[in-house]
Amino acid sequence: MDYSQFLLMPQEMGLLLVFLLVFLYDTFLPQKMQKALPVFTATVFAIYTALSFIPVAAGEAFGGMFVQDPSTWVMKGILNIGTLLVLLQAIEWTNSDFVSVRRGEFYELILLTLFGMFLMISGRHFLLFVIGLETASLPLAALAAFEKNHYESHEAAAKYVFTAVFSSAVLLLGISFVYGLTGTLYFGDIAYYLVGEKSALLIAAVAFVIAGVGFKLSLVPFHLWTADVYRGAPTAVTSYLSVISKGAAAFAFLVILVQVFGAVYTSVWEWMLYVVIAITITVGNLFAIRQRNLKRFLAFSSISQAGYIMLGIIGANTMGMTAMMFYVLVYIFSNLAAFGVIAAIERKTGKVTTDDYNGLFKTNPWLSFTMMLAMFSLGGIPPFAGFFSKFFIFVGAAHQGSVAIYVLVFIALINTIISLYYYLLVVKAMFIRQDECAIPAFKSAWSERVGMALCVLGIMFIGLLSCIYTGLSQISEGVQTLFATLS
Amino acid sequence: MYLVPSLVMFGCGVFGFITRKNMIAILISLELMLNSVDINFVVFNRFLYPEQTEGMFFTLFAIAIAAAETAVAIALIINVYRVVKNVDINQLTKLKF
């Protein structure tokens, strides 16, 4: 065996090294040093994140099963940034009394799921993709059940594991149909055999694959687990689930749809995705309006955001791909800012409903300010990053040019206005409504403040620094081969 | 022809997943679905593409993944059982719309 192939996967190897360091620290160092484990993990991971932006050589390993190209490289970098923010915000929570005994497991499982997502992004063979998907979803069930003293946590984990296994069974059925049609599991070879294919089996296969991955992305009608799991799981895990896991699944989805099923784009999956996107954005928005619990509210908001991410895929062009990666980057910062505030307040007071936030601006101006920026960015109000990401995603989808896509973009546009209503409800509660028993002023921990400050910087400047979008755009233009079989 | 049992199995799995109230029974239904997919792969490999073994290998990995899934699911069911002293899915109603 040629071991030099491992040199093509420096990000995976680096992540494995971080995991091993954390594991050894957790296992062998004396009890009194364990309290520093979260800070140690965050530091090592920060170094690794910085190093992971060193450009890597493009190429393929293991007979084409694993592909490293600039787009996978930058996507992994984006996920690394998001995971770093999650780790920073989790430091205080993992040092709390109930969790501190098993904080090591939390970090190990998070790093392992990230490894699985990397395999998902880089895998160009269905076997590697499925292994990556399972590695990314099974430990998350264990993480959702992490707060042993809370019943909600167990319930959320049980619901998550059942739906996750169900969806992976559906996905595997779809893959088995694809195998039956083509006799191979390599993405490139399947695309070659599928040219001109138009059988019922193929349509069923595509539908099952969309359903299987749609569960992970929580697209409507496969979204029913989302609100319950987000509500019940610990907030650190919820934030990880809502941004990192979603971003990785979105990129893998793009690769599968465009590269594997590219030959049947107009005849099979364009209209399937069309319907799914339209109802995802609408249903997510409408249900978000009636939520009072902020974690459930963000769950439904993330469902509709997933619909917007899909808009970058349905265009099936490099512009849409750029817009999708940019959207995921912005979404990471905005959503993690919101979850950072929720986690800080929940840890101090245990309050998570919108009504509890009445008059928050009077007592905790900085937290309210962060939350306001996050809501503005998620809603897409101009100077903040969220506006630019929405703009690019609409342009990318409309670039495809058909009338149907224009209608879809119009539906999404109307939904953006609806979403402003409920995002601004939170802002209104914090700034305009008054309450006698508002949450008292408190000082959040340094790690939480660093995490939130980074998020705020991201929200303010990612949209304004045009070099980020240009860079992503050049990278997408560089992977034209992905779109080779599109028709 | 050999696809019929696997598809029937998959259908039974979906039916059981939806109708069963006991979490262990739901888990068994899930196993049924995963195993029917394995049969699917083996059938396709054996009858359509006998000169290669990709489907067989996929099946081997799928079996291992299914085992891991069962282990995690059982652990979580035990967790729930410790709290509510029951494995009835109707008890899990604290989180809802």
* CA gap A161, A394 in Å, rounded: 34
Task: Find the residue in B nearest to A296 (Cα).
Answer: B97
Angle between helices A270-289 and A403-431 (to 10 degrees): 20
Q: Do residue B40 and residue A161 have CB atoms under 8 angstroms apart?
A: no
* CA gap A59, A27 in Å, rounded: 36
pLDDT band at A267 (very low <50, low <70, confident <90, very high): confident
Residue at B72 is within a domain? yes
Q: Do residue B72 and residue A138 have CB atoms under 8 angstroms apart?
A: yes
Give the burial string for A91-101 (b: 16+ CB within 10 Å, else e): bbbbbeeebee
Picking from A156, A183, A185, the nearest residue to B48 by CB comes out as: A183
Neighbour-count burial of A33, counting CB atoms closer than 10 A to its CB (0-12 exposed, 13-18 middle, 19+ buried): exposed
Beta bridge partners of A60: A67
Task: Find the residue in A nearest to B35 (Cα).
Answer: A169
Contact A257, A92 (CB under 8 A): no
Higher pLDDT, A79 or A439: A79
Q: What is the pLDDT of residues A11-31, one digit of tens each?
A: 999 999 999 999 999 999 888
pLDDT value of residue A340: 92
Task: Find the residue in B nearest to A164 (Cα).
Answer: B69
Q: Do residue A154 and residue B57 have CB atoms under 8 angstroms apart?
A: no
pLDDT band at A55 (very low <50, low <70, confident <90, very high): confident
Inform me whether the pLDDT recorded for A387 exceeds 90. yes
Task: Provide the domain count of chain B.
Answer: 1
Inform me whether the pLDDT recorded for A285 exceeds 60. yes
Residue at B14 is within a domain? yes
Nearest to A360 by CA among A298, A425, A440: A440
Contact B77, B23 (CB under 8 A): yes
Task: Find the residue in A nearest to B91 (Cα).
Answer: A155
**C-beta neighbour count of B38 within 10 angstroms:** 22
On whether any CB of chain A is under 8 Å from the CB of B24, the answer is no
CA distances from A417 to A84, A269, A274, A356 (A): 32, 28, 20, 25
Inform me whether the pLDDT recorded for A315 exceeds 90. no
- Which B positions 74-93 lie with beta carbon below 8 A of chain A? 75-77, 79-80, 83-84, 92
Please provide the DSSP assignment of A99-148 as one string: TGGGHHHHHHHHHHHHHHHHHHHHB-BHHHHHHHHHHHHHHHHHHHT--T
Q: Do residue A156 and residue B96 have CB atoms under 8 angstroms apart?
A: no
Q: What is the pLDDT of residues A181-212, one digit of tens each?
A: 999 999 988 988 888 888 889 999 999 999 99
Neighbour-count burial of A177, counting CB atoms closer than 10 A to its CB (0-12 exposed, 13-18 middle, 19+ buried): buried
- What is the least distance, in Å, from the CA of A172 to any CA of chain B? 6
Average pLDDT taken over every residue of chain B: 90
Picking from B49, B72, B96, the nearest residue to A141 by CB comes out as: B72
Handedness of CA A107, A78, A208, A305 (dihedral sign): positive
Task: Find the residue in B nearest to A228 (Cα).
Answer: B95
pLDDT value of residue A166: 94
- What is the least distance, in Å, from the CA of A113 to any CA of chain B? 14
pLDDT value of residue B2: 77
Tell me the CB-side half-sphere exposure of residue A115, using CA atoms within 13 A: 20
CB contacts, 8 Å: A178 with chain B: none
- What is the least distance, in Å, from the CA of A101 to any CA of chain B? 18
The single residue listed with the structure tokens 């919108």 is A354
Taking one residue from A and the other from B, the number of pairs with CB-CB distance under 8 angstroms is 114
3-state secondary structure of A152: helix
Residue at B70 is within a domain? yes
Picking from A131, A159, A180, the nearest residue to B44 by CB comes out as: A180
CB contacts, 8 Å: A138 with chain B: 68-69, 72
pLDDT value of residue B97: 57
How many helices (H) and strands (E) chain B has is answered by: 3, 0
Give the burial string for A436-454 (b: 16+ CB within 10 Å, else e): eebbeeeebbebbbbbbeb
Neighbour-count burial of B61, counting CB atoms closer than 10 A to its CB (0-12 exposed, 13-18 middle, 19+ buried): middle
Q: What is the pLDDT of residues A240-250, one digit of tens each?
A: 999 999 999 99
Q: What is the pLDDT of residues A59-101, one digit of tens each?
A: 888 888 999 989 999 999 999 999 999 999 999 888 888 888 8
- What is the least distance, in Å, from the CA of A350 to any CA of chain B? 17
CB contacts, 8 Å: B27 with chain A: 162
pLDDT band at B78 (very low <50, low <70, confident <90, very high): very high
Does the bond joining A221 to the residue before it have cis omega, within 30 degrees of 0?
Answer: yes
Q: Do residue B33 and residue A166 have CB atoms under 8 angstroms apart?
A: yes
* CA gap A116, A134 in Å, rounded: 7
* Domain CATH code at residue B60: 1.10.287.3510
Amino acid letter for position A213? V
Does the bond joining A365 to the residue before it have cis omega, within 30 degrees of 0?
Answer: no
Please provide the DSSP assignment of B70-97 as one string: HHHHHHHHHHHHHHHS--BGGG--SS--
On whether any CB of chain A is under 8 Å from the CB of B1, the answer is no
Q: What is the mean pLDDT of residues B59-70?
A: 94
Lowest mean pLDDT among A225-239, A334-348, A371-385, A423-437: A423-437
Average pLDDT taken over every residue of chain A: 90
* CA gap B8, A13 in Å, rounded: 43
3-state secondary structure of A147: coil
Q: Do residue A161 and residue B69 have CB atoms under 8 angstroms apart?
A: yes
Residue at B97 is within a domain? no
Q: Do residue A169 and residue B34 have CB atoms under 8 angstroms apart?
A: yes
Tokens of B23: 């979490």
Phi, psi of A220 (to 5 degrees): -65, 140
Picking from B37, B45, B80, the nearest residue to A173 by CB comes out as: B37
On whether any CB of chain A is under 8 Å from the CB of B12, the answer is no
pLDDT band at A113 (very low <50, low <70, confident <90, very high): very high
Contact A122, A484 (CB under 8 A): no
Contact A175, B59 (CB under 8 A): no
* CA gap A338, A375 in Å, rounded: 7
For residue B74, give its domain range: 3-88
* CA gap A298, A233 in Å, rounded: 13
Residue at B95 is within a domain? no
pLDDT value of residue A433: 83
- What is the least distance, in Å, from the CA of A103 to any CA of chain B? 19
Q: Do residue A158 and residue B76 have CB atoms under 8 angstroms apart?
A: yes
Interface test with B, best of A154, A184, A290 (most B CBs within 10 A): A154
Q: What is the pLDDT of residues A453-474, one digit of tens each?
A: 999 999 999 988 889 899 889 9
N residues, chain B = 97
Inform me whether the pLDDT recorded for A252 exceeds 90. yes
Inform me whether the pLDDT recorded for A132 exceeds 70. yes
Residue at B10 is within a domain? yes
Contact A447, A378 (CB under 8 A): no
Residue at B96 is within a domain? no
On whether any CB of chain A is under 8 Å from the CB of B7, the answer is no
Picking from B62, B73, B83, the nearest residue to A165 by CB comes out as: B73
Contact A375, A426 (CB under 8 A): yes
Interface test with B, best of A172, A209, A226 (most B CBs within 10 A): A172
Q: Can you point out the beta strands (E) in chain B?
A: none
Residue at B25 is within a domain? yes
Contact A31, A57 (CB under 8 A): no
Inform me whether the pLDDT recorded for B95 exceeds 80. no
Q: What is the mean pLDDT of residues A404-431?
A: 92
Please provide the DSSP assignment of A367-434 as one string: HHHHHHHHHHHHHT-TTSHHHHHHHHHHHHHHTT--HHHHHHHHHHHHHHHHHHHHHHHHHHHHHT--
pLDDT band at A279 (very low <50, low <70, confident <90, very high): very high
Q: What is the mean pLDDT of residues A421-431?
A: 90
How far out from the chain centre does Cα A161 lie?
18
- What is the least distance, in Å, from the CA of B93 to any CA of chain A? 8
3-state secondary structure of A293: strand
